């Protein structure tokens, strides 16, 4: 098979058991029934070793944690693999323009990366109050009912994960599935807010599935629950997480990018591809050539359409794959080759497009897939106004070659 070397690359990667270090930052939704301990025991029963740290004073918001010396000290205390961020239960469902949850989350993620370069933030999606939050309903309609509060929590936590290249641990969404399908399992304490043992057990199962990306069904640890109830919670946690990896942003972090950063040609029958990553590279061309260099050169005996695949594994072990095609012409390839188009935001509300060719079509979408802009490029460098936020872009050449990516517009 032409692409068999890719399988050989994956097979050659070292696989070994190791300890996973997780810091939980939150409040009483984290400490109730000792969520970190339950998570650790589930992992141990399934053959995984976990070390946990906790910084979770009652009622704390993410902004409280940002200015808490104890939280900053915990973040810097060791190299973490994951740092879990849990917003105060009501704040998590409120507009972030009011709570500044997004500012706090980004600042805490920055502090995490400063001390643990390879750590990933994990956003702990909590659950709505059992019957909504009457105390906040007048000012925040989304908090009036359980369903609307849960939807607001879902939306906000997904946004935080996307903006900070982190994961969502969708505890609240699994919680909703249990409420909808097994109402006899009581997830709440009497205050209709904090988790019962069953609620915390569900959360621990979701965290295991999220961080290890595998099912927790069959764990021998059931806490104080009846085995049949524990089995139901295990199954719902596993399906909620593993059936929707893209929804919870659980694929490799966006900063791990296999996208080619440039091309250069030497005559019509040779092209050198460029990538600035300091990790491992695996390049494959549809003519059978392959390379593990960062900047490989490929040669051609005839013109035609060629497909390239680049697998990149960054120094933290995160992997990304990019596949694209382009035309090789038997004459004039030196003029045909250009740098792979790039789209970046260097000024507020403004995109800079470089490397595109005359006639390329640029389309910019928001995270809901709505088309924001569509323009034809004239080659060289172009500037394009764009609304602030996370945007997806796609460039299509007249020969139907495609490039795409994601950009944050300040």
* Span 278-287, pLDDT tens digits: 889 999 999 9
Find residue 271's DSSP bridge partners.
265, 298
C-alpha to C-alpha distance for 74 and 89, rounded to whole angstroms: 22
If you average pLDDT over residues 299-316, what whole number do you get? 88
Burial class (CB in 10 A: 0-12, 13-18, 19+), 17: exposed
Highest mean pLDDT (candidates 207-216, 320-329, 392-401): 207-216
Residues 303 and 299: their CA atoms lie apart, in Å, by 11
Q: Which is nearest to 169 in space by CA: 235, 202, 124?
A: 124
Least reliable range by pLDDT among 23-37, 157-171, 375-389: 375-389
* pLDDT score, position 14: 44
Residues pairing with 310 in the sheet: 283, 322
352 sits in the region (left: phi over 0; alpha: psi -120 to 50; else beta) called: beta
Q: Is the pLDDT of residue 376 over 70?
A: yes
Work out the average pLDDT over 343-372: 78
Strand, helix or coil for residue 27:
coil
179 backbone dihedrals φ, ψ, rounded to 5°? -60, -40
CA distances from 407 to 209, 277, 313, 393 (A): 29, 18, 21, 8
Q: Which residues pair with residue 356 across a beta bridge?
A: 380
How much is the average pLDDT of 12-40?
86
Q: Is the pLDDT of residue 325 over 90?
A: no
Q: Contact 248/168 with Cβ under 8 angstroms?
A: yes
Q: Which of 143, 164, 52, 55 is nearest to 101 (CA)?
A: 164
| Residue 26: pLDDT band with limits 50, 70, 90 | very high
SS3 142: helix
Pairing of strands 270-274, 262-265: antiparallel
Section 168-188 average pLDDT: 98
CB atoms within 10 A of CB 61: 20
Look at residue 323 and give its three-state secondary structure. Answer: strand
**pLDDT grade, residue 266 (50/70/90)?**
low
Strands 262-265 and 167-169: unpaired
- For residue 370, count other CB atoms closer than 10 A to its CB: 8
Angstrom distance (rounded) from CA 330 to CA 320: 32
> Is the distance from CB of 263 to CB of 273 less than 8 angstroms?
yes
315: left (phi over 0), alpha (psi -120 to 50) or beta: alpha
CA atoms lying within 13 Å on the CB side of residue 407: 24
Per-residue pLDDT of 34-84, as tens digits, reads 999 999 999 999 999 999 999 999 999 999 999 999 999 999 999 999 999
What tens digit of pLDDT does each residue of 69-123 get? Answer: 999 999 999 999 999 999 999 999 999 989 999 999 999 999 999 999 899 999 9
E strands, 262-339, are 262-265, 270-274, 280-285, 290-291, 297-299, 304-313, 319-328
Q: What angle, rounded to 10 degrees, do the helices at 69-76 and 101-115 form? A: 40
Q: Cα(172)–Cα(231) distance, rounded to whole angstroms?
A: 18
Higher-pLDDT residue of 328, 172: 172
Residue 329 CA to residue 151 CA, distance in Å, equals 53
Confidence of residue 320 (pLDDT cuts 50, 70, 90): confident
Closest CA to 273 of 300, 309, 297: 297
Residue 368 is predicted with a pLDDT of 58
Tally of CB atoms within 10 A around 345: 17
Q: What is the pLDDT of residue 3?
A: 39
The separation between the first and the last C-alpha atoms of the chain, rounded to the nearest angstrom, is 45
For residue 123, what is the enclosing H or E element?
A: strand 120-124
The pLDDT value recorded for residue 43 is: 98
d(CA 101, CA 109): 12
Give, in degrees to the nearest 5, the angle at Cα 183 between 181 and 187.
Answer: 115
Rounded-to-integer distance, Cα 177 and Cα 70, Å: 36
What is the Cα–Cα distance from 179 to 129, expressed in whole angstroms? 12
């Amino acid at each position: 098979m032409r692409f068999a070397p890719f399988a050989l690359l994956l097979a050659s990667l070292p696989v070994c058991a190791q300890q996973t270090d997780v810091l939980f930052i939150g409040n009483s939704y984290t400490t109730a029934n000792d969520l970190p301990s339950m998570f650790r025991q589930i992992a141990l029963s399934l053959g995984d070793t976990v070390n946990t740290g906790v910084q979770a004073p009652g009622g704390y918001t993410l902004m409280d944690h940002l200015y808490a010396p104890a939280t900053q000290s915990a973040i810097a205390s060791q190299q973490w693999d994951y740092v879990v961020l849990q917003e105060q239960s009501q704040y998590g469902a409120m507009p972030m323009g009011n709570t500044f949850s997004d500012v706090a989350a980004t600042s805490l993620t920055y502090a995490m990366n400063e001390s643990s370069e390879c750590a990933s933030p994990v956003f702990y999606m909590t659950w709505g109050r059992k019957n909504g939050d009457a105390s906040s309903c007048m000012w925040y309609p989304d908090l009036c009912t359980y369903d609307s509060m849960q939807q607001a929590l879902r939306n906000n936590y997904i946004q935080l994960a996307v903006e900070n290249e982190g994961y969502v641990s969708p505890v609240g969404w699994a919680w909703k599935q249990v409420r909808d399908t097994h109402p006899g399992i009581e997830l709440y304490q009497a205050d209709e807010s904090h988790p019962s043992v069953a609620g915390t057990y569900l959360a621990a199962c979701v965290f295991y599935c999220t961080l290890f990306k595998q099912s927790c069904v069959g764990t021998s640890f059931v806490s104080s629950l009846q085995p049949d109830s524990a089995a139901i919670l295990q199954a719902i946690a596993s399906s909620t997480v593993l059936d929707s990896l893209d929804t919870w942003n659980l694929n490799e972090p966006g900063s791990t990018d296999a996208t080619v950063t440039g091309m250069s040609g030497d005559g019509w029958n040779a092209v050198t591809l460029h990538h600035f990553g300091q990790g491992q590279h695996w390049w494959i061309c549809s003519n059978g050539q392959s390379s593990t260099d960062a900047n490989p050169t490929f040669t051609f005996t005839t013109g035609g359409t060629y497909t390239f695949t680049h697998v990149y594994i960054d120094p933290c072990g995160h992997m990304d794959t990019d596949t694209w095609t382009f035309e090789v012409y038997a004459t004039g390839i030196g003029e045909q080759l250009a740098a792979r188009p790039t789209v970046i935001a260097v000024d507020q509300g403004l995109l800079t497009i470089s490397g595109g060719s005359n006639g390329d079509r640029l389309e910019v979408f928001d995270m809901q897939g709505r088309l924001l802009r569509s323009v034809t490029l004239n080659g060289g460098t172009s500037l394009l106004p764009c609304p602030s936020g996370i945007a997806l872009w796609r460039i299509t050449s007249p020969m139907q070659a495609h490039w795409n990516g994601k950009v944050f517009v300040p």
